[in-house]
Amino acid sequence: MLTLKTHTGSVSIIGGASDEISIDVNVRGRDKDVKDFEVTAEQSGDQIDVSGSLQTQGAWIWYLPDLRVSYEVRVPRECGLRVHTSGGYITVQNVKGVLKGGTSEGDISISQCDGDINLETFTGSLKADSCVGTIGMRTSCGGINFTAITGDVDVSTSAGDVRILDVEGKLRAWTAGGNMIVKMRGSNKGVHVESSGGDIELVLPPSVAGNIDAEAVAGLVNCSLPGHLVGKIGENELDAKINGGGDPIFAHTVGGNVHLLVSD
């Protein structure tokens, strides 16, 4: 397990065939700030702890706009990670194992990762591509873009559009202020998509079975799914079973329309 905590800095992590961990740290800025920024590393068995901090007592890192820190990390393909930075992006590629952490300000991007993933940013976008496992990611201000995911997904943003394509698993997605496009594959394991202020486009396989609960408070619900629908069907709501019913398919928006579409 590698734990990396830094007061500031962007972090890029790549997994590979080597069984060693290497970390390159680049610190730029005024000479005084560079000298005051200290990086330490300690190892106890399989646990490695890396810390980056400003040593000047009472200094606030956000008052040092000229200080630039970046971490380039290479780890074995199978490696647990805990990553925390108070300012900077986080990217992780080709890693299998527990992946937890976050940033106060910056984008988070993961690709070809496999495991229990839980990441968050206060301000920044979220991106995931070609990942397997259980994924939970949150942002207070930023868009969400996921593609080719196998496993359960739970994501949310307080301000941003959501685009989730080619997902097989249980899905929960929420945005307080944006549009949403979601495309599922495989059998229905449960879908919950919700927007407080945008359109929802939910694309499902032709043979999907489930209990549909769709509502557009200030808009319309449009359904072009093939199959037999049994239940309540109205202009702005749909409460019905499709193809005999099954796990829930929930799609609600307050300030937009809901479109239930069939995939090619």
DSSP string of 223-252, one letter each residue: E---S-EEEEE-SSEEEEEETT--SEEEEE
With a cut of 60, say whether residue 59 has pLDDT above it. Answer: no
pLDDT in tens, 105-152: 999 999 999 999 999 999 999 999 999 999 999 999 999 999 999 999
pLDDT of residue 229: 87
Lowest mean pLDDT among 44-58, 183-197, 232-246: 44-58
Strands 114-121 and 99-103: parallel
Cα–Cα separations (whole angstroms), residue 29 to 23, 40, 66, 105, 200 = 20, 19, 5, 19, 45
Q: What is the pTM of this model?
A: 0.94
For the chain, what percent of residues have pLDDT higher than 70? 96
pLDDT of residue 213: 98
With a cut of 60, say whether residue 62 has pLDDT above it. Answer: no
